[in-house]
């Protein structure tokens, strides 16, 4: 029985991958190497510092921890300048009505995101009030695929992991859901997200009744 839904943010609620991409690409170019959209796929669901490590591995560059902090800060400033321009229109189609539908059925909701920018994004798109609990990159110590982000969300909601459903667009996120012992639905490509119970393109043609029916 479903008592709660836990949502990843980037790629599930909003499409921020393109902002991450142009910000990381700009840093790579400053450092003198190319960073492609295909490379960017490797950063989905991955924490900021781990993303930088992958980027530097592609550029075959080595920096000290302090220098890496500065590089990550530079990327983040650029990324924030993009997300500051976001409006409620940047919410992915069907998301707001899906969240409202859950609340009407008494199903609780939590955000489970790796991003430290989650509070700013939620403020810009005006959806913060539709979540009963928020767990993000500021409140966790282990990144996905560690289950911490989802276990913490379930705990805050007072719901057992097996009664939660996770919505995720990244493989690392689905692994985190599985590690938490939670059912999960992928958003995106079924070939890539084969760990999920079901994969949907988005919430446009998937309502709360479809969710309940699928798990009954
Ligand atoms: C995840 C994104 O949600 O958050 C990753 O999929 C990103 O691409 C990570 O690196 C951390 O985000 P932020 O906003 O804290 O840099
Ligand atoms: Mg994501």
Query: What's the gap in Å between 169 CA and the centre of ligand 2?
Result: 5
Q: What is the best residue among 25, 48, 78 to mutate for testing ligand 1's pocket, by most ligand atoms within 8 Å of CB?
A: 48
Please state, in angstroms and rounded to a whole number, the distance separating the CA atoms of residues 183 and 90. Answer: 27
Residue pLDDT, tens place only, 144-194: 999 999 999 999 999 999 999 999 999 999 999 999 999 999 999 999 999
Chain position carrying tokens 């994004």: 121
Ligand 1 proximity of 75 Cβ (cutoff 6 Å): no
Check pocket membership of 40 for ligand 1, CB cut-off 6 A.
Answer: no
Query: SS3 of 134, please?
Result: strand
Range of the domain at 74: 17-83
Q: How many CB atoms lie within 10 A of CB 59?
A: 15
Same structural domain, 8 and 34: no
Residues 108 and 182 in one domain: yes
Secondary structure (DSSP) of 7-68: E-SBTTTB--HHHHHHHHHHHHHHTT----HHHHHTTTT--HHHHHHHHHHHHT----HHHH
**10 shares its domain with 22:** no
Question: Across residues 74-91, what is the average pLDDT?
Answer: 97
- Do residue 113 and residue 141 come from a single domain? yes
What is the per-residue pLDDT across 11-39, written as a single tens digit (0 to 9) for each?
Answer: 999 999 999 999 999 999 999 999 999 99
Same-domain status, 200 and 121: yes
Domain termination site, one of 66, 83, 100: 83
Q: Are residues 141 and 105 in the same domain?
A: yes
Among 19, 20, 39, which residue has the most ligand 1 atoms within 8 Å of its CB, making it the best to mutate? 20
Q: How many CB atoms lie within 10 A of CB 2?
A: 20
- The verdict on 92 and 182 lying in the same domain is yes
What does each C-alpha distance from 26 to 78, 87, 89 come to in angstroms?
A: 9, 24, 26
Ligand 1 within 6 A of CB of 144: no
Burial class (CB in 10 A: 0-12, 13-18, 19+), 166: buried
Q: Is 51's C-beta closer than 6 angstroms to any atom of ligand 1?
A: yes
Query: How many structural domains compose the chain?
Result: 2
Closest residue by CA, ligand 1 atom 14: 115
pTM reported for the whole predicted model: 0.95
Q: Which residue has the tokens 């530079």?
A: 74
Active site residues: 8, 10
Given the CA of residue 72, which atom of ligand 1 is nearest to it?
A: 16
Same domain membership, residue 24 and residue 10 = no
Phi, psi of 206, deg, nearest 5: -140, 110
CA 183 – ligand 1 centroid, Å: 23
CATH of the domain at 60: 1.10.150.240
Residue 111: the pLDDT is 98
**Does 108 lie in the same domain as 11?**
yes
Same domain, yes or no, for 75 and 95? no
pLDDT at 41: 85
Do 107 and 161 belong to one domain?
A: yes
- Among residues 40, 58, 83, the one where a domain terminates is 83
Q: What pLDDT sits at residue 105?
A: 96
Q: Are residues 23 and 116 in the same domain?
A: no
End-of-domain residue from the set 63, 83, 103: 83
Return the CATH number at 9. Answer: 3.40.50.1000
Distance CA 190, CA 174 (A): 12
Q: What number is the average pLDDT over the span 194-199? A: 98
Rounded to whole angstroms, the Cα distance separating 121 from 198 reads 27
């Amino acid at each position: 029985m479903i008592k709660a839904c836990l949502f990843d943010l980037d790629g599930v609620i909003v499409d921020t991958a393109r902002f991450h991409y142009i910000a990381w690409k700009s840093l790579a170019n400053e450092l003198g190497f190319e960073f492609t959209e295909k490379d960017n796929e490797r950063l989905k669901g991955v924490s900021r510092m781990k993303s930088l490590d992958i980027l530097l591995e592609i550029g075959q560059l080595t920096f000290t921890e302090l220098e890496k902090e500065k590089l990550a800060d530079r990327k983040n400033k650029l990324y924030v300048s993009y997300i500051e321009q976001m409006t409620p229109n940047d919410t992915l189609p069907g998301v707001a009505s899906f969240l409202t539908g859950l609340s009407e059925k008494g199903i609780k909701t939590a955000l489970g995101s790796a991003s430290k920018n989650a509070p700013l994004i939620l403020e810009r798109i005006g959806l913060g009030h539709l979540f009963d609990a928020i767990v993000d990159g500021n409140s966790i110590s282990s990144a996905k695929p560690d289950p911490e982000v989802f276990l913490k969300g379930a705990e805050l909601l007072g719901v057992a992991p097996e009664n939660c459903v996770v919505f995720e667009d990244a493989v690392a996120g689905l692994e985190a859901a599985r590690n938490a012992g939670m059912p999960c639905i992928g958003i995106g490509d079924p070939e890539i997200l084969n760990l999920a119970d079901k994969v949907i393109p988005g919430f446009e043609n998937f309502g709360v009744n479809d969710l309940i029916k699928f798990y009954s």
